[in-house]
Amino acid sequence: MIYAPTHTTLNKYTAPAIALHWLIAVLMICAFGLGWVMTDIPTFTPTKIQYYAWHKWIGVTVFMLAVLRVIWRALHRPPMLPSELPAWQRWAANLMHPLLYVAMFAVPLSGYLLNSSAGAPVVYLGLVPLPALIEPNPALQPFFSMSHLYLNYALATLVVLHLLAALKHQFIDRDGVLARMLPCWKKN
């Protein structure tokens, strides 16, 4: 189904798009923080094991929400960028958003593959055992471990750039771009 833009869709994201955006953002920050903390714990303590479980659960949740977000985006046209936006900023936005989507999938997938290669099960929320994507293979663990690490740093970099661009639009340009993704803020 193709949706024709209306005045509302030209100015603001839909409520489900906004909710998915912020929920995924908060979960990614939590997963990154947990990952940072849990890998600094020197031995496998009960706390470290619990952090790993939470980290996995958040990663699976982010992946599932990212799938919903892509489906929603395919069915609902995002608001148009302001017409006065310079061409290079349009180009940057059109590059940044697909990269963020790729990273939202690649980071949890690389973590899942790391667990599969290590033979470590993922039991979502401690209730639902998820299938391994590959057979246990210790030789692949270093590859998936480094992939997961570097993809996380790439995602963090993209998120910081995205945040800086949003803040620039809000406080320097004052063009309402950020307000389109905030549930309660007005353009000015």
Read off the pLDDT of residues 120-151 as tens digits, 9 standing for 90 and up: 999 999 999 999 999 999 999 999 999 999 99
Do 15 and 8 contact (CB within 8 A), yes or no? no
pLDDT tens-digit series, residues 54-90: 999 999 999 999 999 999 999 999 998 888 899 999 9
Q: Helical H runs in the chain?
A: 7-11, 15-40, 46-75, 87-118, 141-168
Do 187 and 19 contact (CB within 8 A), yes or no? no
Q: Does residue 2 carry a pLDDT above 80?
A: no
Q: Helical H runs in 76-140?
A: 87-118
| Whether pTM exceeds 0.95 | no
Percentage of residues in the chain having pLDDT higher than 70: 93
pLDDT at site 185: 60
Amino acid at 62: V
Amino acid at 35: G
pLDDT at site 1: 39
Q: Does residue 3 carry a pLDDT above 70?
A: no
CATH fold of 7-181: Fumarate Reductase Cytochrome B subunit (1.20.950)
Burial class (CB in 10 A: 0-12, 13-18, 19+), 72: middle
- For residues 23 and 17, what is the distance between their CA atoms, to the nearest angstrom? 10
Helix (H, G, I), strand (E, B) or coil at 129: strand
pLDDT at site 5: 39
- For residues 30 and 48, what is the distance between their CA atoms, to the nearest angstrom? 15
Q: Does residue 161 carry a pLDDT above 80?
A: yes
Burial class (CB in 10 A: 0-12, 13-18, 19+), 40: exposed
pLDDT tens-digit series, residues 7-66: 334 479 999 999 999 999 999 999 999 999 999 999 989 999 999 999 999 999 999 999
Q: Does residue 173 carry a pLDDT above 50?
A: yes
Residue 80 token pair: 């148009």
Phi-psi region of 126 (alpha: psi -120 to 50; beta: other; left: phi over 0): left
* Alpha carbon of residue 63 to chain centroid: 8
Residue 28 token pair: 């990614």
